[in-house]
Each structure stands twice: as C-alpha cells, then as structure tokens.
Amino acid sequence: ATIKAPPEKIFPLINDFKSWTAWSPYEKKDPAMKRTYGQVTSGKGATYAWAGDRNVGSGSMEILDAPAPSRVTIKLDFIKPFEGHNVAEFTLEPQGDSTQLTWAMHGPTPFVSKVMQVFVSMDSLIGKDFEAGLANLKAAAEKP
C-alpha cells in the first residue's frame, strides 16, 4: 500500500501491539476475542496472544526486530484452527511525501498445507485480510 504519511507516523501503529485494535482486520472479525499483552507491548521482545472464535482462532506473536521506522519483524505462532509457525514482516520505504508499506508472511509449509494449497491458494485465504489491514493502516496513518 502507498500511504500518504511518513514512516515515522505509520511505524508506531505496527510496532505497538496495543495499536493493532485500530487497524487489524482480525480485531473486527471477532470483537469478543480475548487478548493478552506481555509486560512489553512495543518494540523488540513485545508479546501478544489472542484466543477467539473460529474466524480468528488462537495464537501468539512476538516482535523479533523493529529498526525504527523501516521494519517490524514478528514471530507468529498459530495454535487454532491449525498449528503454524511463520514470520510476518512489515517494511516501510519512504517515497517522497508517502510511504510504501509491504506486509508479508513466510514460513515452512508442512505436507498437509502443501496438499491444501493444491486446492486453495493461501493468497486467497489471507490476501483479502492483508489488503483490509493495509487499507485500515492507510486510513489511520492519513488522519490529520
């Protein structure tokens, strides 16, 4: 997404797990979701866990690296509805008076996931959520 705001304005929205309620598409999928924040909620070492309905499942996140204001790297562990261990990365690149924001996720693909990907694209499963999250981040960061 291209956001008409400097990286310094966008970075805190990603780097602080308590700010995710303002933009994460998963927060809206289950408003009754239970959230547990670690003692540290922003920057390297920050932790967050969630437990929700079948739309969001349960899992935890930890910020592994967060060089301000260019990148936030997160260890993402899903417990339900299926187990998965991935890395999510937000990259912020200044472009004049805007920022190019990229949200990517990568990790190992167990055999069951490989079989599933024959029938269903992972991009179709989570791509729309990432697009919604980027749009929400854009709206939040571009507020005056």
User: What pLDDT shows up at residue 28?
Assistant: 85
Q: Is 55 exposed, middle or buried (0-12, 13-18, 19+ CB in 10 A)?
A: exposed
Closest CA to 58 of 39, 90, 84: 84
Rounded Cα distance, 103 and 120, in Å: 21
Which of the residue ranges 6-20, 91-105, 109-123 would you say has the lowest mean pLDDT?
A: 109-123
User: What pLDDT shows up at residue 118?
Assistant: 44
For the whole model, what pTM was predicted? 0.85
Segment 53-104, tens digit of pLDDT = 998 999 999 999 999 999 999 999 999 988 889 999 999 999 999 999 999 9
- The amino acid present at 133, given as its one-letter code, is G
Segment 17-66, tens digit of pLDDT = 999 999 999 888 898 999 999 999 999 999 999 999 998 999 999 999 99
